[in-house]
Amino acid sequence: MKNNAHILFYATAMALVLTFSANAQVTNIDSLKNLLSKESDTARIKTMIAIGGGYDDKYKYDTALYYYLDALKLAESVQEKKSLFLCLNRLALFYEHKNNFQLALEFALRAQKIAEEENSLQSLFDIYNYVGGVIYFNHGNFDTSLIYGFRLMKIAVKMNDRKKMADGQMYLGDAYRALEKFDSALAMYLKALELSKATNYKDNFFNLYNDIGLLYDEQGQYRNAIAWFLKSIAQAAKDSFDAPNVSNNLVNAYFHIKRYDSALLFAKKLLQYSEKNDDQGSRLVSYWLLSQIYEAEKTYSEAYNYLDRYLHLKDSVNSTEEQNKLNLLESEYKTDKQKREIELLQKNSQLQGLLRNVLIATAILLLILAFLIANKYNHKKKAEEILSIKNSELNRTLNELKSTQAQLIQSEKMASLGELTAGIAHEIQNPLNFVNNFSEVSNELLQELKDERQKTLGQRDEELQDELLADISQNLAKINHHGKRADAIVKGMLQHSRKSTGQKEPTDINKLADEYLRLAYQGLRAKDKSFNATLKTEFDETIGKINIIPQDIGRVLLNLFNNAFYAVTERQKAEGEDYKPAVSETTKQTGDKIEIRVADNGTGIPDAIKGKIMQPFFTTKPTGQGTGLGLSLSYDIVKAHGGEIRVGTKEGEGTEFVITLPIT
């Protein structure tokens, strides 16, 4: 699914946060600062947001955030709903641009609550459009985005605004297209086009023609796509912002049907636009497209020329992006440092009170201990006599236990060796059987082919020879596949037995856990774009850094996340669309240890096999989808860190794994 969120979403989002007062239209930040002392509270709020926007444009994110939060604090103190709504939306947009989904959603939902309390239809229309169409849509939660689309339509009907109804239908078309429900998407787009034409809503024509073109393009119907793209570019002929996007779409569509002359025409138009407007992004795309088209036409000198331009410009753009990333990291570091300084002051205050209580408790404890020592001294001699008798009995029992322990250890070693051998034999035998079988069949086919080739030219069956060669090729592919399966099993066993060579280092466990959760989710989404799940995280920010081998603990977390996504996927297959997959991740400090909890609402684990899941080679997955070494390896890694891993589950409802690690 291509990432083509509708431009309506962004237009609405910007309208929510850029409605400033006349004073705030001044672009000079110093001039805006001079206005702050002269304005009313409401005007000051808007001016502070404008100042924050100025710093935001200059990549000074920490200063921008300072002004946004100051404006929010003032809006909360004066209890002015419109200003509060404006601040919350600006912060939501700020964090959305920083790809912080959780904070963006938190501020946007607070703004939504205000709009619902005020029952302002216009504000509700705007905020539903932003929350569903920008935040949830851009983060892949298309089901929730669709729900907001129906809310949006309900508001538009209440307002009796046919243009907003057209916008709502277009919104629903985008959501259905993201969910790959193409028939529903086309119906929504055509309804939106009908409403737009009826109201002479020309601003929508370009977007709708382009979206319908993309709809056909994503289904591989490139000729239909081209027809709609041409309608779209006709609407955007005078619009220097929209035309390049459609030109890019036309290049791709023409390229797919090998109409290289037409693809070249629009690629050059895209290049002309980029040079005229000094747009490095469009120029980079046009260089790449031109190199691909000339290569397809076998005009290699031109292909090399544009590829060389592409690589040089890409290096230049990357250096600019790296500088922007450095500015963002510096901003986040300063914000985090201020937060930790506040937390440290709070902890010092708490420690002083705790120390006073400890001193009082210690004095009371000393009095109690003095009394107990005096009382126990009287019983000491008698206890020593009893202890002497007990010691002789214990020595005899200890010798017997040592002998029994040696026998048990030997028995356990033999039993483990037997289980391991059986597991290896079972796991590797399956792919080897396939390799042997397909090898034998291939030999028979080769002999049959050899017999056929020995016939005279007129007697040979060419069609039979082609079929034999195709069968042999398929068999070789299967032999290769099952050979790789055996190789993966052997590598997994070696990895399971190999000691880690990584070094322990102070690590932000919250950041590590969040990173691997996103990695597992995006990995599954890359394989199955139809899959969606609700991700919930709750991190204890007081944990700080702990001493671990990050790559090993990351491997443990990745195993647990993959198992969780597999469980919810299996349950979704069984229950259908009514079931909503969810995976949650929680960290918490308890004394001198930290807990990491990974929970899902998947299929759960039956009680009959719960005790076996940590054993090597035990798996509930179908043959070829799992080696059964993931949880066993995870168990060994956690134990090597001085921690433990336990599981709680209920069949048909879900599973929760809990990892406990020492802080030091």
Give the residue ranges of DSSP H helices in 454-546.
462-497, 509-527
Residue 8's domain comprises: 1-140
> Phi/psi of residue 326, each to 5°?
-60, -40
Domain boundary among 73, 106, 140: 140
Do residues 368 and 491 both lie within one domain? yes
Residue at 60 is within a domain: yes
Residues 191 and 153: their CA atoms lie apart, in Å, by 13
Q: How many residues does the chain have?
A: 664
Residue 362: C-alpha distances to residues 158, 291, 368, 592 (Å):
70, 79, 10, 22
Residue 306: helix, strand or coil by DSSP?
helix
Longest dimension (CA), the chain: 116
pLDDT score recorded for residue 638: 92
Domain boundary among 462, 497, 532: 497
Residue at 164 is within a domain: no
pLDDT score recorded for residue 28: 66
Do residues 470 and 564 both lie within one domain? no
Structure tokens at 296: 């397809």
DSSP string for residues in 73-92: HHHHHHT-HHHHHHHHHHHH
Do residues 397 and 528 both lie within one domain? no
pLDDT score recorded for residue 226: 92
CB atoms closer than 10 angstroms to residue 340: 13
Per the structure, the count of domains in the chain is 3
Residue at 563 is within a domain: yes
Do residues 463 and 525 both lie within one domain? no
Residue at 219 is within a domain: no
pLDDT score recorded for residue 551: 87
Task: State the first-to-last Cα distance of the chain, in angstroms, to the nearest integer.
Answer: 46
Do residues 478 and 551 both lie within one domain? no
**Buried b vs exposed e over 573-595: b needs ≥16 C-beta within 10 Å?**
eeeeeeeebbbbbbbebeeebbb
State the CATH number of the domain containing residue 617.
Answer: 3.30.565.10
Residue 184: helix, strand or coil by DSSP?
helix
Do residues 510 and 569 both lie within one domain? yes
Do residues 587 and 454 both lie within one domain? no
Do residues 490 and 576 both lie within one domain? no
Do residues 417 and 440 both lie within one domain? yes
State the CATH number of the domain containing residue 30.
Answer: 1.25.40.10
Taking the whole predicted model, whether its pTM rises above 0.75 is answered as: no
Task: Give mean pLDDT in consecutive 10-residue pieces for the chain, a chain of 664 residues.
Answer: 40 40 47 70 84 79 86 86 86 85 88 86 86 84 88 89 89 90 91 90 86 91 90 70 77 89 86 81 84 88 87 74 50 50 54 67 76 74 78 80 60 46 60 82 85 80 84 88 77 53 84 88 81 91 90 90 91 88 94 93 88 79 71 89 92 93 86
Residue at 428 is within a domain: yes
Residues 86 and 49: their CA atoms lie apart, in Å, by 9
pLDDT score recorded for residue 564: 92
Domain boundary among 140, 168, 191: 140
Residues 51 and 76: their CA atoms lie apart, in Å, by 19
Do residues 568 and 631 both lie within one domain? yes
pLDDT score recorded for residue 273: 81
pLDDT score recorded for residue 61: 80
Residue at 633 is within a domain: yes
Residue at 625 is within a domain: yes
Residue at 347 is within a domain: yes
Q: Which residues contact 629 (CB under 8 A, 6 or more apart)?
A: 492, 493, 495, 496, 616, 617
Do residues 463 and 589 both lie within one domain? no
Do residues 471 and 583 both lie within one domain? no
